[in-house]
A and B are shown apart, each in its own frame.
Chain A
Amino acid sequence: MVGGKMAATASIRERQTVALKRMLNFNVPHVKNSTGEPVWKVLIYDRFGQDIISPLLSVKELRDMGITLHLLLHSDRDPIPDVPAVYFVMPSEENIDRMCQDLRNQLYESYYLNFISAISRSKLEDIANAALAASAVTQVAKVFDQYLNFITLEDDMFVLCNQNKELVSYRAINRPDITDTEMETVMDTIVDSLFCFFVTLGAVPIIRCSKGTAAEMVAVKLDKKLRENLRDARNSLFTGDTLGAGQFSFQRPLLVLVDRNIDLATPLHHTWTYQALVHDVLDFHLNRVNLEESSGVENCPAGARPKRKNKKSYDLTPVDKFWRKHKGSPFPEVAESVQQELEDYRAQEDEVKRLKSIMGLEGEDEGAISMLSDNTAKLTSAVSSLPELLEKKRLIDLHTNVATAVLEHIKARKLDVYFEYEEKIMSKTTLDKSLLDIISDPDAGTPEDKMRLFLIYYISTQQAPSEADLEQYKKALTDAGCNLNPLQYIKQWNLLSRVMNTGSQFVMEGVKNLVLKQQNLPVTRILDNLMEMKSNPETDDYRYFDPKMLRGNDSSIPRNKNPFQEAIVFVVGGGNYIEYQNLVDYIKGKQGKHILYGCSELFNATQFMRQLSQLGQK
């Protein structure tokens, strides 16, 4: 059981990387061979493919796999004869047309076509047609459906897509003027990606979702798609050695589909952990952060050219040990750790320098042959440890820059004040400073911050504030320069679906509020209830789907009474790092359980506010 379990919980990131490497190795499983002959190939991808590959494989790793050039599909490409080309694209109309054009122009020697999600029969025939017309049928060596239509950012976190975010954004789903067909397309996109995700994971989940939300629609469609695929025994994607691990473990994972609307406060929350701060405050996108460094703050005399700001971008990947350890820690801890690492590095540097001086002395002493041999050994070890030292230095520089940038923002906007205040609001402890004071305080934060604070307050209070109070707040907010559109939307949302349960839930939360400020967000709570099979009025009427059951009825009675070991939380409408961090903290306390977090798009508070204000304008 243990062995099967260990294999079953290989992280989604590893699985996707292994799948990509196999694809790049001409669809043959990749084996590391140190004295193998080099083979070279060219990689062609579209923007979707680029987004999927870039968090997982660096350019150096692509080189190691033998890729000499990597190009966008829709760029100008020159013919390179005698080179096999690996394509990794979505099966859309323009992509297919461009590929047919490539076939006609005979750009490469052989073609390995890999489609990110399944291609339809008619489009396959289009390609066949073009290949026939260009007499290039033998050049098309392999055609594969990769089922990799999702982006993995961390070992246990994934996002659906980046390029067509607009299509599946919160706004798109919750628009009042959305038509049925549009909704269908959006749902289909989401279900397609989720299906690819489960194919890569190699397991068929048990699905639970709340009633009457977009999440329910997704659940119904996903259940139907999985069921169809399992029935089709000939082509089922869930048989064979991919499911080897799943067959050994008796547990199937639990998929919890929640809708963004159950908790609108969390995306607006000001945060204090490293990763979430970087996402909130800096431009952090697909594991890459872009910093603007202003070089010098002196006053430039009038007429001189303004100083240019350097843009630097860093990759924050799970390979970075410091990031992996500290991405969930509160910010002061991070600052201390950077200092600590810097001191360690300096100590090692001094060690190497001391060695250098020793070498300088001993070199003149001719009789000490044996000592020389020791020194050569030491020198060899020093030289071989040099790359590690350099790498460490680079990481320290990186994190120092990032942390400094974040710190500047915190100081300028007084984010710590906001954070504390919001924590108090959300946990219902008494507030020492009145909300009005903070809003009218001119140098605490941008108007956006104030708006966020107010919205959180508005969402979290049990009864709506009275009209007079509301007017007061509104006036203070407009004085501070905020845009009131999000408020409009929130009001409508409140009228439509005031989740009454949250009132009682929050009372319970007040009791659970420990000194450690370990607070469970609504999503975490729901997951806890469902995973541990606790009975709770909030989650009792969640629907239950099991694609493996022969009869297609959707009874609400779960057949499985044991707690689940593995769960996947998917938020329809958007998620953020705060929820992710909360889930990670929650699962750290439980042995042997794993959680994966996914969302249809990843936004920070700024982007979410923009969407809310667009919704409020209508």
Chain B
Amino acid sequence: MAVDITLLFRASVKTVKTRNKVLGVAVGGGVDGSRDELFRRSPRPKGDFSSRAREVISHIGKLKDFLLEHRKDYINAYSHIMSEYGRMTDTERDQIDQDAQIFMRTCSEAIQQLRAEAHKEIHSQQVKEHRTAVLDFIEDYLKRVCKLYSEQRAIRVKRVVDKKRLSKLEPEPSPKARECASSEKVSETPSKDSEEKPAPEEYPEKTVAKARPELGAVGDSRGEDELSPEEIQMFEQENQRLIGEMNSLFDEVRQIEGKVVEISRLQEIFTEKVLQQEAEIDSIHQLVVGATENIKEGNEDIREAIKNNAGFRVWILFFLVMCSFSLLFLDWYDS
């Protein structure tokens, strides 16, 4: 196990100080030293890179706190048993979503900006590497916080979809709702554990209930209107049908919304992968370009070599012919 010798170190510092004082060695210590230290700290390049990085981190931290604070209310909203203060309407939830998205966008833009500026004036390789790594950390942090947000949202959408699916388990509201409308009205409030579930059923019930008094009213004022009971029934049926169609459209739209959220999540994953591959493809491209250049140069070299070879041969031939001519000449000269 590790032993903390910081105190020992401080003690040695004191010992050294007293020893130096005794020996009268000028250390630049004492009063001057502390002043020096303060003096030295201020003109040091405060590194506005790191201060801005820290700013971005604190922003993201604020976003995280904001999301976490309202998370409980966001998710808990469907619980039947709850206090008045915690409730959140859908509009508030949408507001939160929007705000969070704007915030995330600004944060990621700030990171991009930092990234562009980070490499400007610095010449040292190590500092560059360090800054790239720091920016990677910050991006990672932002991604984690965004995950919080998307989890929340996914839970919300999933709940809505599930509710729609549950409500679809009852057959088309028209024939049944008319019969059990009264019984449902009575039993609706205390026994359901999700608020919105009664909502779609309330809707047909309400229209049915409206239709009934209408029916009753029409029945009473039979003589005034020219509507015959058959026509009324027909109208009623048409009403039911239209209501049913609207409902099913509504449900489908909700479902599709849920699917789209899932698909967008998958797309996120895919884009991540594609971006990763982009870097690799770039490097492959570079290599291929380099390879084609090398091959071109190689071809040139080969062509030159062939030429040299040919030229060389010509010279050899010439030399031999000259030699043979000179031999003939000498021979002729001698004889």
Contact = CB atoms under 8 A, between A and B. Distances in A.
Nearest to A135: B37
A360 to B, nearest CB: 15
B8 A143 contact: yes
B266 A383 contact: yes
Instruction: Please indicate which of the listed interface residues B13, B144, B145 has the most CB atoms of chain A within 10 Å of its own CB.
Output: B13
Most B CB atoms within 10 A — which of A129, A131, A146?
A129
Interface string A555-587: 000000000000000000000000000000000
Contacts of A82: 46-47, 50-51
Given A133-B27, A199-B1, A200-B1, A373 B259 contact: yes
Nearest to B123: A78
A148 to B, nearest CB: 8
A142 B6 contact: yes
Interface string A140-153: 11111111000000
Interface residues of B, number: 56
Given A132-B27, A138-B37, A383-B269, A37 B61 contact: yes
Contacts of A133: 27-29
Contacts of B266: 376, 379-380, 383
B98 interface: no
B229 to A, nearest CB: 39
A128 B130 contact: no
A120 to B, nearest CB: 11
Q: Which of B12, B37, B51 has the most C-beta atoms of chain A within 10 angstroms of its own C-beta?
A: B12
A126 to B, nearest CB: 9
A425 B293 CA distance: 62
Contact of B5 (A40, A125, A143, A369): A143
Contacts of B126: 69, 71, 77-78, 80
Interface string A395-429: 00000000000000000000000000000000000
Contact of A23 (B2, B15, B61): B2
A124 B12 contact: yes
A202 interface: yes
Nearest to B258: A373
Contact of B17 (A42, A132, A143, A373): A132
Interface string B22-64: 0000011100011011001000111100110000010001001
Given A124-B5, A143-B8, A379-B266, A132 B45 contact: no
Interface string A438-468: 0000000000000000000000000000000
B238 interface: no
A404 B109 CA distance: 50
B6 A237 contact: no
A376 B2 contact: no
Interface in B60-94: 61, 64
A83 interface: yes
A65 to B, nearest CB: 11
Interface in A13-37: 19, 22-23, 27, 34-35, 37
A42 B9 contact: no
B287 to A, nearest CB: 15
B3 A145 contact: yes
B129 interface: yes
B1 A19 contact: yes
Nearest to A121: B12
Among B3, B265, B269, the one with the most A-chain Cβ atoms within 10 Å of its Cβ is B3
A135 B36 contact: yes
Nearest to B60: A37
A143 B6 contact: yes
B140 interface: yes
B1 A237 contact: yes
B137 A40 contact: yes
A255 B101 CA distance: 62
Contacts of A313: none
A137 B27 contact: no
A35 B40 CA distance: 36
A114 interface: yes
Given A22-B2, A125-B12, A69 B130 contact: yes
A242 B64 CA distance: 37
Interface string B137-149: 1101100110010
B159 to A, nearest CB: 16
A88 B262 CA distance: 47
B248 to A, nearest CB: 12
Contacts of A186: none
Nearest to B32: A135
B137 A81 contact: no
A35 B3 contact: no
B17 A35 contact: no
A38 B138 contact: yes
A66 interface: yes
B263 interface: yes
A373 B161 CA distance: 12
B64 A132 contact: no
Nearest to A19: B2
A526 interface: no
Interface string A228-241: 00000001010010
A74 interface: no
B152 interface: no
A68 B133 CA distance: 5
Contacts of B45: 81
A269 B37 CA distance: 64
A38 B140 contact: yes
Contacts of A142: 4, 6
A176 B102 CA distance: 78
B114 to A, nearest CB: 14
A475 interface: no
B130 A68 contact: yes
A78 B127 contact: yes
Contacts of B5: 119, 124, 143-145
A307 interface: no
Interface of B: 1-6, 8-10, 12-13, 15-17, 20, 27-29, 33-34, 36-37, 40, 44-47, 50-51, 57, 61, 64, 124-127, 129-130, 133-134, 137-138, 140-141, 144-145, 148, 252, 255, 259, 262-263, 265-266, 269-270
Given A40-B130, A127-B12, A133-B29, 20 more contacts: A27-B4, A40-B137, A78-B125, A78-B127, A80-B130, A81-B44, A81-B47, A81-B50, A82-B46, A106-B44, A127-B9, A132-B17, A132-B33, A144-B2, A147-B1, A242-B1, A373-B259, A376-B259, A376-B266, A380-B265
27 contacts: A27-B4, A35-B64, A35-B148, A37-B57, A40-B133, A42-B130, A63-B133, A69-B126, A71-B126, A78-B125, A80-B126, A81-B45, A81-B50, A119-B5, A121-B8, A124-B5, A127-B9, A127-B12, A133-B28, A133-B29, A140-B9, A142-B4, A144-B3, A145-B3, A145-B5, A242-B1, A372-B259
- Kindly list the 4 A-B residue pairs having the minimum CB-CB distance in the complex, ordered from nearest: A68-B133, A38-B137, A78-B124, A82-B50
